[in-house]
Amino acid sequence: MLTLSPAMLGRDFDELIRCHAPAARALAHAVTGNAGDAEDIVQEALLAALEHRGEIDAEGNPKAWLLRVAHRKALDLLRRRKVRAAGEAGLESVSAPVTEADLHAVRRAFQKLPPATRAAMHLAYYEEMPYAEIADALDVSLSAVKMTILRGREALRALLKETDDAV
């Protein structure tokens, strides 16, 4: 895949890459669960940014624009994989000490959540973005973000309870 260098793109793109690509990479990783896919998605998002520079300037929020593109590309990747497979046949803080096994269980449960829920929760808990910015980045309403995160926490609790009950 083509790697974009800041020298090729100018100072504005240098800032976009330096400041906002890590957040886009982390979001893509949260949605896909794969670091390699996340890296590819960020490269695709940056290529889209190059092609649509005017839209980014007009919007005035390059971080939200890049996160929105990365999120859409991550969801597209998951959809393509789901279709292909069919054709072939974050989180709240805890007061108790957290073990490596606990972290592993949370990560597994988190990956079972729907991609849109994982994206919203990742931005809220790992990127520490306000709900209004998450709504802008994911191109949904503020109430949708609030409800998605609320339902995501509930689903995560249920998944973790199932894990505890199974042990």
> Where residue 159 sits, what CATH number does that domain have?
1.10.10.10
Of 42, 64, 89, which residue sits at a domain end?
A: 89
Q: Which of 70, 89, 108 is the last residue of a domain?
A: 89
Identify whether the C-beta of residue 139 lies closer than 8 Å to the C-beta of residue 68.
Answer: yes
Q: What is the pLDDT of residues 31-81, one digit of tens each?
A: 999 999 999 999 998 888 888 776 665 557 888 888 999 999 999 888 888
Rounded Cα–Cα distance for residues 52 and 79 (Å): 24
- The total of structural domains in the chain comes to 2
Same domain, 60 and 95: no
Confidence of residue 89 (pLDDT cuts 50, 70, 90): very low
- Identify whether residues 144 and 106 lie together within a single domain: yes
- pLDDT per residue as tens digits for the range 100-146: 787 888 889 999 999 999 999 999 988 888 999 999 999 999 999 99
pTM (2 d.p.) = 0.58
Q: What is the extent of the structural domain holding 124?
A: 91-167
78 plus 147 within the same structural domain: no
* 53, 130: one domain: no
- 112 shares a domain with 46: no
Q: Name the one residue in this structure whose structure tokens are 């893509």.
A: 28
- pLDDT value of residue 8: 43
The band of 16, judged by pLDDT with boundaries at 50, 70 and 90, is confident
